[in-house]
Amino acid sequence: MFQQALHSLRRTTTRAVLGGAIIIGTAEVFTHLPSQGRSSALYHELADEWIVPGMRRVLNPELAHKVALKLAIFAPTYRPSAKEQRLNVKVRLWGDKEFSNPIGLAAGYDKDGTAISPLLGMGFSFVEIGSVCLQPQPGNPSPRMFRLVEDEGIINRYGFNSMGADVVEAHLKEFRQSLLQGTKEETPWWQRAYDFFWPGSRELLASGMLGINLGKNKTSTTPLDDYQALIHQLGPYADYLVINVSSPNTPGLRDLQSTSSLEGLLAGCQEACRKLERPPPLLVKLAPDLTNDELKDIANVLLKLKIDGIILTNTTTGRPSSLMSLNKSETGGLSGKPLKTRSTECIRLLYQYTQGRIPIIGVGGVQNGHDAYEKLRAGASLVQVYTGMIYEGPGIVSRIRDEVAELMIQNGQRNLQEEVVGMDHEDLYWRKQRMSLAKQDDQIPIFVIDEEQNKNSGEAEVASE
């Protein structure tokens, strides 16, 4: 009887193993889920074509945003592009900051730094959290976010809702510590499982850059004090910092963009940065509603201060006549497709005004590779996405990167930073090319031939014959 039971157990085990192998093999052939997991085409389609549209239909915009952050750990991961691997799409800024690709996530999506790791796993080379305020504040009352589905835009009037610097700092500590290679006992079981099934994920996260966007509290009457305190507290965790003076939802904030106010504010922020052990690059984020003359005046101030970078642009209070949605009259900042043209125009103007000397991060209406490529050509070194995630889903990152690579190949380009960034500015573009060639010439070793030695060597060869 014992032998029969053992034989039955062996047959059951064999059938289970063979059945499991057949199921996994079939799934691999038709979906690639076993080997590619969350980067597979099926997983991307499930998220982008079913889950995200379903959330838009069932949930109000703010609740959908909160749920999306909670579910980010299950979101599709980056789907590698064979086209991109043939090119150099890395961007190096500020000396030692290397971005693996030009696509990042804009501030406003993860305000408090609760989902940095899964967002980087989607394929962003950098994630910008915030805006972070020094003290916790609830922001404006709900409803405060509205979809303009017909226009592929969003209006928000959040008003810098923030958990405050202390809570955000705790999240940043947790994120930075998670990147350290600890012992097996120190690593959570879920992280070990993730590393086993998707090897290299930790390296992907470690290569990602973190930006921290800083804002002042609504009731603060000393904005410089707010920004300096935030720089002191959060600066050590940042790969770059952003001074946000352009949100339309905090009373009086945009007044800080006047050249007289801006120069003193940024100079004070630079002073606070210099006191850090490792000062991060300091950027400023500007509004699209500034006039061209105002942008030119600001450019002169930024050149004078030698600011590290500019983010263009924040949301707009303008309402194009082309808007069709019933929500177009809601108060707040408009983002998405309706902002794309003005955002790109601001990038082009600031690149020209600064002669390409200050790196620009472009944001506003980026929903595909063509939009990103257009901003890169206009002068942006990096590009950010926000509203596009709401309408296209998390798979938008992989698609944009693949489409940018396709456009580069079509135009015979191999190096994104050298050949794409700023190419719309013909005079500045060719100046950059000449500088690049001169730099390459400096690196080529020069061999000086001693004619007398060469002559003697030739005579010795003749004599030996």
> Which residues are annotated as catalytic?
247
What Å distances lie between residue 178 and 129, 172, 210, 213, 270, CA to CA?
A: 17, 10, 14, 22, 30
For residue 233, give every residue at least 6 positions away whose Cβ sits within 8 Å of its Cβ, in sequence order, or none.
Answer: 165, 169
Describe the strand order of the beta sheet including 333-336 as a list of residue ranges.
145-148, 153-156, 333-336
Q: Give the tokens for residue 287.
A: 């509004």
| Nearest Cα residue to 274 out of 326, 231, 325 | 231
| Nearest Cα residue to 91 out of 445, 421, 349, 425 | 421
- The rounded distance, in Å, linking the Cα atoms of 226 and 253 is 13
With b meaning 16 or more CB within 10 Å and e meaning fewer, what string describes 405-423? bbbbeeeebeebbbbbbbb
| Nearest Cα residue to 283 out of 139, 131, 391 | 131
| Nearest Cα residue to 409 out of 367, 371, 373 | 373
For residue 15, give every residue at least 6 positions away whose Cβ sits within 8 Å of its Cβ, in sequence order, or none.
Answer: none
